[in-house]
Amino acid sequence: MIRGLPTSLVLTAGLAACIAACKGQPYEAEWCSEADTGQVSPAEAPTWVEIGPLFAQKCGACHVAGGHAPFAVAEYADVVPYLGAIRDAVTARTMPPWLAADCCQSWFQDFSLTPTEIAAVQDWVDAGAPEGAGIGAPLDPIGGLSRVDVTLTMPEPYEPPVGDSIRCFVFDWPESSKRYVTGLAPQPGNRAEVHHLIVSMVAPDDADEVDEADAADPEAGFDCTGGLGDLPSPVLLGGSLLGGDYPRGIGNPVEPGSRILLQVHYSVDTVSLPDATSVQFRLDDTTAAVVEAGGIAISNPGWLVGTGMAIPAGEEDIAYYYRFRPSIYTGGVDVDLQGVTPHMHRYASKMRVLALHADGTSDCLLEIPDWEFGWEQPYWFANPVPLSAQDELYLECHFDNSAANQPTGEPPRDIAWGDSDQDMCAAFLSFTKSAP
């Protein structure tokens, strides 16, 4: 069962015959990221006076002494030993780890680099990283919590195996009354091993099933490499190592007796060390100005059945499409879409999510032109996107199962919807009810 996909939808999938309609029909509109915007270099190579504040703003939340990243960027001397790695990562757009195209939406707490900023970093390194004179205008890092109300830490350290693995850890929720999570910030215990993580909430009625899965494994937590299987579907709270406040007073309700589920992707090269990751939460209660959020899961139920989402061996680009009216989630009323979280695995290459309006127009909600497994995170819109009761949502996923894209280096094999050695195509939208 995919995380966040309601039981009713999964049961519907069991009834689906998944005939030709499973693959769906493409929406005939260009991908905005396919336009060639180019990179604009500055008139002359910048110095640390200009580059330092940029690093502080876009990289400083993680690249800080004692933070998530392997080195700090606060001072010129911090950065100089890593110039080659910085240039390579910025040029390849693997750092900062932001997958969403900026041509599609404007984003809340967007820490990506623009083409002009990328060119500036390249030119600075190529010019020998001149330090310059003076100090640049200080810029505060993007991300982070405004306050910490609760911190949950793994009850005992866990030592992951060498290689890639995914482990789930269960936390008791300590609050005795209904509270709203209005922000969170994961704190990896061993950043060298924690590749990425996802934080979810399991409702009290389903807590026993999660507790049983945890108790059945003698080690800390339990293996969840292939997803959560038959466990109840949790509500996604966050999935970024950066973390921070939610925008516009949005809050996810958490009832007493709930469980917090921490899903950690470990990546260990040669030597494994114990990890004790924690999660910091910002909380508000019902007397605060909290806007309660709901969730919409987008995925074709037919894809979950057998080879309904077949990705044949050797296919370099195979796409699946799905459009539907989300009244089962919204109650058939107008809503404001607040953000979107994508979900695919290693064979995925790109994804987009659109709002298709009843008047024939559309809004691009998310476009990821180059998917990178391991950097899944929520993307909050800078401004809400209205969705009327008559509008539809559209999901499009592309996969590359060619010989050149095999994570293990072995020959391609037929895959379909499934565990981490298969793939998935889903997106999760956060919404609030529109003001009357």
> How far lies 268's CA from each of 86, 275, 371, 374, in Å?
22, 11, 22, 14
The reply to whether 85 falls in a domain is: no
The reply to whether 392 falls in a domain is: yes
Q: Is the pTM of this model over 0.85?
A: no
Contact 315, 401 (CB under 8 A): yes
Q: Which helix or strand (DSSP H or E) is residue 346 part of? A: none
389 with 273, same domain: the answer is no
pLDDT along the chain (436 residues), means of 10: 38 40 84 70 80 88 74 89 93 88 91 90 94 76 86 93 89 95 89 81 92 92 72 72 84 94 85 92 82 90 91 97 95 95 91 97 96 84 96 98 90 88 90 83
175 with 277, same domain: the answer is yes
Q: Determine the Cα–Cα distance for residues 54 and 52; give it in Å rounded to an integer.
A: 5
Single-letter amino acid code for the residue at 311: I
368 with 281, same domain: the answer is no
Please report the pLDDT score of residue 401 as a whole number: 97
Contact 224, 191 (CB under 8 A): no
Please report the pLDDT score of residue 14 as a whole number: 36
Cα R_g (the chain), whole angstroms: 22
Q: Determine the Cα–Cα distance for residues 385 and 330; give it in Å rounded to an integer.
A: 14
269 with 324, same domain: the answer is no
297 with 373, same domain: the answer is yes
Q: How does strand 362-368 pair with strand 348-356?
A: antiparallel
Contact 228, 168 (CB under 8 A): yes
Q: How far is CA 341 from the centre of its chain?
A: 5
Single-letter amino acid code for the residue at 193: E
Please give the structure tokens belonging to residue 404: 């050149």
352 with 369, same domain: the answer is yes
Domain count, the chain: 2
Tell me which of 292, 311, 342 is where a domain ends.
292
Tell me which of 244, 269, 292 is where a domain ends.
292
CATH at residue 370: 2.60.120.230
CATH at residue 190: 2.60.120.310
Q: Determine the Cα–Cα distance for residues 436 and 316; give it in Å rounded to an integer.
A: 48
299 with 288, same domain: the answer is no
For residues 32-65, one letter each, b for 16 or more C-beta atoms within 10 angstroms of the residue's C-beta and e for the rest, the string is bbeeeeeeeeeeebbbbbebbbbbbbbbbbbbbe
* Residues forming a β-bridge with 280: 151, 185
423 with 340, same domain: the answer is yes
Range of the domain at 208: 150-292
Q: Determine the Cα–Cα distance for residues 20 and 24; give it in Å rounded to an integer.
A: 8
Q: How does strand 163-172 pair with strand 259-268?
A: antiparallel
Q: Determine the Cα–Cα distance for residues 197 and 187; give it in Å rounded to an integer.
A: 10
For residue 51, the number of C-alpha atoms closer than 13 Å in the C-beta half-sphere is 30
The reply to whether 91 falls in a domain is: no
156 with 260, same domain: the answer is yes
